[in-house]
Amino acid sequence: MNFVTVEFLLFLLAVFVVYWHLNRKHQNLFLVLASYFFYANWDWRFLGLIVVSTAVDFISGPRIYRADSSLRKRAWLILSLTVNLGILGYFKYFNFFAESFVSLANSLGWYVSHSTANIILPVGISFYTFQTLSYSIDIYRGELKPTKSLVEFAAFVAFFPQLVAGPIVRAKEFLFQLEKDRVLTGKDLDAGLTRFLLGFFKKAFIADTLAIHVVDPVFSDPGQFNQGTLWLALLAWGFQVYADFSGYSNMAIGSARILGFRIPENFLFPHLAVNFSDIWRRWHQTMTRFFRDYVYIALGGNRGGLAKTIRNLTATTVLSGLWHGASWNFVAFGISHGVAIGIYQIWRHYKRKHGWGWKRHPIPGALIGWLLTHAAWCVPLVVFRASDLPTSWSYMVWLFGKTGETLPALPVFVWIALASVVVDHIAGWLLERDPELPEKIPVFAKGVTFAAMIIFLYTAVPRAVNPFIYFQF
């Protein structure tokens, strides 16, 4: 049930009407049923996996909390980790590791055969698995008390607005909201509908327009295009990924808001970043926080000097790359980020030590930092999109010297889509300096703007509905 379809809009409207006619306990139960229906609409066969993860962690949580020894506490945590990561590993990584082992064995002359299993990846499994893990780990760390209500815990795990593609919501950010009465306010309704409309615009117009007219044609056969076209497609691909995923996050946040819930932000205008650490602070924030708190810090964080910090950062980025998909492309993507952030950490270390920098000329320094950051961000996106590593490498080589054809004349909507991302980030730059800016805009101006957006979407949105990019993760 894609968020940009009439089917989902009718579903959300029905949930909204029924939900606000129920008391809190019935609201929570209704959310569970609605969320299970929503997920089953994708593929009912995998609904049982959510039920298993929910049951295991609901049982494990109180036992971790009340365990009378560190050994028992650790044993229950290991059970939770084993079940959840075992399910994730089997469905997402079994074929990848099996095929990689066979390739390695054959290269050594062992001649191992392997029949690839027809394993379908359950939609959203990476997201809801991380959510349930946060519950058990935070209880183990003493940062959260277990819930007594199975219904509330099930509603947290399966909450449909962010179930299949995030944001990754932790138990301590959401469970307490289920435990108290919710009241629909005009402010929540206005904020929720605004976020949903903006997200719809990003996905249905910006992302899909760029995909259909630029990204898909070029990446399907990059060898026939010239250098300038390849750079344009790469820029469009970076904008498409941002508009697609941040659009989904906006719609998820907006849908949750009209039901009385606050879920965390997932994007902070990443194209404003002026260094590579800043990119990670702004892009897919909930995933970054998860890997920071449960992987990077667990490995030692920035304790132990520069070399160990870079090692821990690289290990974290590689794992986050592999989280995106079972492919050597994503491993390479993670390594490239590890290298980039490692270089930035080395620069930062010696800048502090020797007083390097642009203290007298901060604007040129920020501009150079911005250009280098986005070059290091955009070029590795090729492996994120290309079918395999050889194709990725060829594309990156062609970026710096290739003659071939250009795309046919692009429709004006493509240029409007590219400009929309720029406008979005200009608005983000203004919001960072004045967070109260939206409240200063007159209601009439908002109404006219949104009405114009709806009319524009009706005429400009491509008729084909593309799936969200992050649904594959």
pLDDT tens digits, one per residue of 57-78:
999 999 999 998 889 999 999 9
pLDDT at 117: 55
In angstroms, rounded to a whole number, what is the distance separating the alpha carbons of residues 292 and 389? 27
Domain spans of the chain?
21-183, 188-398
Q: Is residue 174 a contact partner of residue 161, using CB atoms and an 8 Å limit?
A: no
* 205: its two tokens: 């117009």
**Interhelix angle for 227-258 vs 186-200, to 10°?**
160
pLDDT at 462: 84
Burial of 289 (0-12, 13-18, 19+ CB in 10 A): middle
Q: Is residue 312 a contact partner of residue 300, using CB atoms and an 8 Å limit?
A: yes
Q: Is residue 98 a contact partner of residue 446, using CB atoms and an 8 Å limit?
A: no
**HSE-CB of 416 using CA atoms within 13 angstroms:** 13
Q: What is the pTM for the complete model shown? A: 0.89
pLDDT at 99: 67
Query: What 3-state DSSP class applies to 168?
Result: coil
Give the bridge partners for 405, in sequence order: 225
Nearest-CA neighbor of 214 among 407, 469, 417, 447? 407
**Does the active-site annotation cover 271?**
no
Q: Is residue 139 a contact partner of residue 146, using CB atoms and an 8 Å limit?
A: yes
pLDDT at 264: 93
In this structure, the chain runs to a length of 473
In angstroms, rounded to a whole number, what is the distance separating the alpha carbons of residues 336 and 315? 11
Q: Is residue 256 a contact partner of residue 262, using CB atoms and an 8 Å limit?
A: yes
Residues 6+ apart with CB under 8 A from 415: none
pLDDT at 115: 56
pLDDT at 361: 60
Alpha helix (H) ranges present in 44-166? 47-66, 70-107, 125-140, 150-158
Nearest-CA neighbor of 29 among 214, 153, 177? 153
pLDDT at 149: 93
Number of H helices, E strands in the chain: 22, 0
The catalytically annotated residue of 213, 271, 284, 324 is 324
pLDDT at 73: 93
Ordered per-residue pLDDT tens for the chain, 473 residues: 788 888 999 999 999 999 999 999 999 999 999 999 999 988 888 888 999 999 999 999 999 999 988 899 999 999 999 999 998 888 887 776 666 665 666 666 666 565 555 667 778 888 889 999 999 999 999 999 999 999 999 999 999 999 888 799 999 999 999 999 999 998 899 899 999 999 999 999 999 999 999 999 999 888 888 888 999 999 999 999 999 999 999 999 999 999 999 999 999 999 988 888 888 889 999 999 999 999 999 898 888 888 888 899 999 999 988 888 778 888 888 888 888 888 888 888 877 776 666 666 666 777 888 888 888 888 888 888 887 888 888 888 888 877 788 888 899 999 999 999 999 999 888 988 888 887 788 888 888 888 988 888 888 888 777 777 776 66
- Give backbone dihedrals phi and psi of 147, rounded to 5 degrees, phi first: -80, 150
pLDDT at 253: 96
